[in-house]
Amino acid sequence: MRTVSRLTLVVAALVLTGTALQAQTNNASITATASVQTPINVVGFQQLNFGNVFPGVNKTVAVADLTNAGRFDVTGQASAPVTLSFTLPATLSSGPNTMPIDSYAGVRADNSSQTSGIGFVPGGSNPATLSAAGQLFIWIGARVTPATNQAQGTYTGSITMTVVY
Amino acid sequence: MKRELWIVIGALLLAVPLQAQAKPLTVTGVRGLMFGAVLPGVPRVVSRTDPANSGQYDIRGPSRNQMVLAFVLPVAMTGPAGALMPLSFGASDAGYSQSQAIGSQVGFDPKQPFTATLSNNGRGSVFVGATANPATNQRAGAYTATLTLTVTLLP
* Per-residue pLDDT tens over the stretch A9-67: 444 444 444 444 455 999 999 999 999 999 899 999 999 999 999 999 999 999 999 99
Ordered DSSP codes for B28-82: EEEE-EEEEEE-TT--EEE-TT-TTTSEEEEEE-STT-EEEEEEE--SEEE-GGG
Give the pLDDT confidence score for residue B67 in this predicted structure. 98
Using CA atoms, how far apart are residues B13 and B29, in angstroms rounded to an integer?
36
Q: B155: nearest CA in chain A?
A: A23
Contact check, Cβ <8 Å, A25/B150: yes
Min Cα–Cα distance to chain A from B97, Å:
17
Between chains, do A165 and B41 touch, taking CB under 8 Å as contact? yes
The parts of chain B modelled with pLDDT lower than 50 are 1, 5, 8-20
Closest chain A C-alpha to B67 CA, distance in angstroms: 9
Secondary structure of residue A5 in the 3-state scheme: helix
Q: Which residue of A has its CA nearest to B83?
A: A36
Summarize pLDDT for A111-150 with one digit per residue, the tens.
999 999 999 999 999 999 999 999 999 999 999 999 999 9
Q: Quick one: pLDDT at residue A8?
A: 52
Measured CA to CA, the distance from residue A159 to residue A58 in angstroms comes to: 20
Interface test with B, best of A10, A36, A41, A162 (most B CBs within 10 A): A36
Nearest to B31 among A30, A77, A164 (CB): A30
B44 contacts on A by Cβ (under 8 Å): 34
A13 neighbourhood in chain B, CB within 8 Å? none
CB contact under 8 A, A32 and B33: yes
- Please report, for chain B, how many H helices and E strands are present, in that order: 1, 13
- The ipTM of this complex is 0.86
- A7 contacts B28? CB cut-off 8 A: no
